[in-house]
Structure 1
Amino acid sequence: MYGLVQATRGAGGMDARLERRLRLFAILVVVSVVASVAFAFARGYTSLAGIAVGVAYGVLLTIPIAGISLFVLQGPMRPWLGGLSFTAGLMVRSAIFAAIIVPTLYFQLGSVIAGVPVDPAHKGFWVNIAFAVVFVILANLIIGIANIIGPRALLNFVSGRYHAPIEENRFVLFVDIAGSTGLAERLGGVGIHRLLDRTFRLLTLAVVDYRGEVLDYVGDEVIVTWREDGGAIECRPLRCFMAMRDELARASDQLQREFGAVPRIRGALHFGPVIIGEIGDVKRAIVFNGDVMNTAARLEELSRNVDGGFLVSRAAMERFNSPPPFAVRDLGRLPIRGRNDGIDVVGIGTPAPV
């Protein structure tokens, strides 16, 4: 099974992380250039030379700042930075960005590149610094908030997509940490929390690869969803679950050394109409409701007694636009709590340890 996952994983979007970063990089560069030009206009620099200086500063500052943020801080430094508090992480990022902003503005590199004479008196230095610092802090806050609630959730809140509840067809994947109760008894409260945090971070890599959306973490479970059109492509939810197991397998040595255990996962996938909408006041959230959510959760419970530890409803299988990436076996109709007629399901063809 492990080799099969390795062979098929790339077809489901191994470049999704890079694609996401490049898309965000392009957006940040464009927004920064527009903001820099607007700032130049606000200060009365409306000539072509003034616009050129604004564009130059926007590019000079954003390319290294966005590049470091997305490809270093969100890359090799992500585990270390993720271990810091929100405020500490914000301070680290701000300090790095200040090291780029201050010399760029002090030496007036934007003017130099645009071919405009520099101001030897540095009259506008502190005004420019203030604007750059405010812009960077706001960008950092947005990135930090997006990391807390999820970038898609932030975009949905801003756009008001689910301000009034709507119905969408969704794939819903429930993933559970097997044997978490025993692990909690052995590791203690703090230890199991650290293990769950590390495990969920690893599982999230697969979610990003296969363009899913983390809906919530509930105890030792993570819930992932896809819209119908995105999830149907190349069986992304199925590939995502197998990639999750792959991530845990690759990190097994490190997890064993640190925690004395390697988490194993079970899961279940279902598909159907879900009611999505904002709810709450003091702590507003976007929630998913409906029979699909309940059925997916109960299928996950059933997966504990099935070889392979993974169940897929027939309703989900019929929505994919290509054959599954691994062998499956028809398990027929299983009785399920809350449904008198049961539900048709399939399982993984080759059992995996659970």
Structure 2
Amino acid sequence: MNEQQRKLNQIFKQLGQSIVFWTFAMTLFAIFRYYGLGEEEGISTGPEHQGSRILPIFALFGFFIGIISALIEFLLDKYLSKRISIGLNLFISMLIYLIFIIILSTITIEISNTIYDLKIDNAVGWWRKDKTFWTVVVYINLAALVFSFIQIANDKFGKGVFVKMLFGKYKEPKEEKRIFMFLDLKSSTTIAEKLGHFKYSQLIQDCFYDLNEVVPEYDAEIYQYVGDEAVLSWPYQKGLSNNNCVRLFFTFRKKLFDKTDYYTNKYGISPEFKAGLHGGILMVAEVGVVKKEVAYHGDVINTSARIQAECNAHKVPILISEKLLKDLDRDDFFSTRHLGDVLLKGKKKEVKIHTVEMT
């Protein structure tokens, strides 16, 4: 699967999630708003408020909102989210939602009038004094906040981890088999001295923004950022699948190379990163009360970090343990070279390490 296909799969996945969420949300609104309304004493409703008609209308409206929502999020993420705060991002989203809600409501009413032979008013400006419309607007904005909160939580804890935390999966330590990559900026001290702390922080922001564009394509999770270092993680089989854990590094490297002019013009350098990879069984647990997070404990993390530290000594951009390398699917994408056995800091037994090269 090439990079373009991966990006398309990611876009369609986000589109699908958005459509499912909004179709469900608007159907739920219709149930809360209209279910059993005609049976209440003293209340009379027209045929447009009958359940057999109102549910499909709102489900259709939710489907349209799902498509538009995915488009809005995609465009904001691509062109604005890097430059503005989360709060301003949400405010702009709400304004855009309002515009599209008016358009989509008018279209949905027209479709409903045609299919069900209803007489719902959708003349120009119909929405200004329509109480139901403004009720829907408030509900959609609240639902959008919930959707954004879920996305932010997923970004914070990693895909699927937030849901597991809600159900208390990590209240007690659990064993998991995972792959870890420690990704570090080369010559970071020299670069920091040259640029100064402000420019250097901007550089790290730009590099990690580019990294975040690559991460979803290879099913990776960002465990944490530590200064100029990013720690990435995969469930073991996801990291092995299509050699994701190796391909991500070379895709990120190529992305930085393709933006050489940008980085050179802005910072006077072209950033390069080095990486260390290892995998195995370790413990995962929910830790802390304030600033709660999921933490991994075990030799796998320590060994990954130590392997990355050997990159400078061997003058290579990436190192991988032989244990992990044996489980990868050898294909035409890369070749490996054994660099020998090294006694990593804090270890009693030597570890066989290899470097990886694109072919």
TM range (shorter): 0.7 to 0.9
Structure 1 residue identity aligned to 2:15: F
1:170-189 pair list within 5 angstroms: 170-189=178-197
1:102 offset after TM fit, Å? 3.5
Residues 52 and 323 of structure 1, relative CA distance in 2, 3 Å threshold: closer
Counterpart contact for 2:182–2:230, Cα < 8 Å: yes
1:251 offset after TM fit, Å? 0.8
- Name the residue aligned to 1:74: 77
- Report the Cα distance in structure 2 between the residues aligned to 1:324 and 1:297, rounded to whole angstroms: 28
- Name the residue aligned to 1:267: 275
- Report the Cα distance in structure 2 between the residues aligned to 1:25 and 1:218, rounded to whole angstroms: 32
SS at match of 1:332: strand
Q: Which of 298, 304, 327 is the matching residue for 2:335?
A: 327
- Report the Cα distance in structure 1 between the residues aligned to 2:233 and 2:223, rounded to whole angstroms: 7
Counterpart contact for 2:179–2:278, Cα < 8 Å: yes
- Name the residue aligned to 1:29: 19
1:168-187 deviation line (CA, Å, top 9, x unaligned): 11111111101111111111
Counterpart contact for 1:308–1:350, Cα < 8 Å: no
The higher radius of gyration belongs to 2
Counterpart contact for 2:26–2:61, Cα < 8 Å: yes
- Name the residue aligned to 2:290: 282
- Name the residue aligned to 2:311: 303
1:46 offset after TM fit, Å? 4.3
Counterpart contact for 2:333–2:358, Cα < 8 Å: no
- Name the residue aligned to 1:5: none
- Name the residue aligned to 2:140: 132
1:76-225 pair list within 5 angstroms: 77=79, 80-105=80-105, 107=106, 109-115=107-113, 116-119=118-121, 122-225=130-233
Q: Which of 57, 66, 85 is the matching residue for 1:62?
A: 66
- Name the residue aligned to 1:50: 54
1:309 offset after TM fit, Å? 2.6
1:242-289 deviation line (CA, Å, top 9, x unaligned): 112111101111000011111111111111112111110011001111
1:346 offset after TM fit, Å? 0.8
Residues 308 and 123 of structure 1, relative CA distance in 2, 3 Å threshold: closer
Identify which of structures 1 and 2 has the higher relative contact order when contacts are C-alpha pairs closer than 8 Å and 6+ apart. 1
Percent identity, aligned pairs only?
A: 23
Normalising by the residue count of structure 2, what TM-score does the alignment of the two structures yield?
0.86
- Report the Cα distance in structure 2 between the residues aligned to 1:350 and 1:42, rounded to whole angstroms: 57
Structure 2 residue identity aligned to 1:111: I
1:94-116 deviation line (CA, Å, top 9, x unaligned): 221122123444x4x32321223
- Name the residue aligned to 2:43: none
Residues 322 and 161 of structure 1, relative CA distance in 2, 3 Å threshold: farther
- Report the Cα distance in structure 1 between the residues aligned to 2:277 and 2:246, rounded to whole angstroms: 8
Structure 1 residue identity aligned to 2:14: L
1:153-202 deviation line (CA, Å, top 9, x unaligned): 43443344433221111111111101111111111111111100101111
User: CA RMSD, aligned part only?
Assistant: 2.2
SS at match of 1:347: strand
- Report the Cα distance in structure 1 between the residues aligned to 2:155 and 2:358, rounded to whole angstroms: 36
Residues 100 and 349 of structure 1, relative CA distance in 2, 3 Å threshold: closer
Residues 26 and 46 of structure 1, relative CA distance in 2, 3 Å threshold: farther
Normalising by the residue count of structure 1, what TM-score does the alignment of the two structures yield?
0.87
- Report the Cα distance in structure 2 between the residues aligned to 1:58 and 1:232, rounded to whole angstroms: 37
SS at match of 2:71: helix
1:30 offset after TM fit, Å? 2.0
1:25-54 deviation line (CA, Å, top 9, x unaligned): 212212222222222222224432112221
Residues 51 and 350 of structure 1, relative CA distance in 2, 3 Å threshold: closer
- Report the Cα distance in structure 2 between the residues aligned to 1:290 and 1:324, rounded to whole angstroms: 33
Counterpart contact for 1:52–1:114, Cα < 8 Å: no
Counterpart contact for 2:10–2:217, Cα < 8 Å: no
- Report the Cα distance in structure 1 between the residues aligned to 2:7 and 2:238, rounded to whole angstroms: 16
- Report the Cα distance in structure 1 between the residues aligned to 2:163 and 2:259, rounded to whole angstroms: 32
Counterpart contact for 1:167–1:273, Cα < 8 Å: yes
Counterpart contact for 1:53–1:114, Cα < 8 Å: yes
- Report the Cα distance in structure 2 between the residues aligned to 1:165 and 1:205, rounded to whole angstroms: 31
SS at match of 1:43: helix
1:78-98 deviation line (CA, Å, top 9, x unaligned): xx3222112111112222112
Residues 250 and 160 of structure 1, relative CA distance in 2, 3 Å threshold: farther
1:123 offset after TM fit, Å? 4.5
SS at match of 1:175: strand
1:64 offset after TM fit, Å? 1.5
Counterpart contact for 2:170–2:285, Cα < 8 Å: yes
Structure 1 residue identity aligned to 2:108: G
Structure 1 residue identity aligned to 2:299: D
Residues 123 and 327 of structure 1, relative CA distance in 2, 3 Å threshold: closer
SS at match of 1:216: strand
Structure 2 residue identity aligned to 1:26: G
Residues 347 and 187 of structure 1, relative CA distance in 2, 3 Å threshold: same
Q: Does 1:313 align with 2:315?
A: no
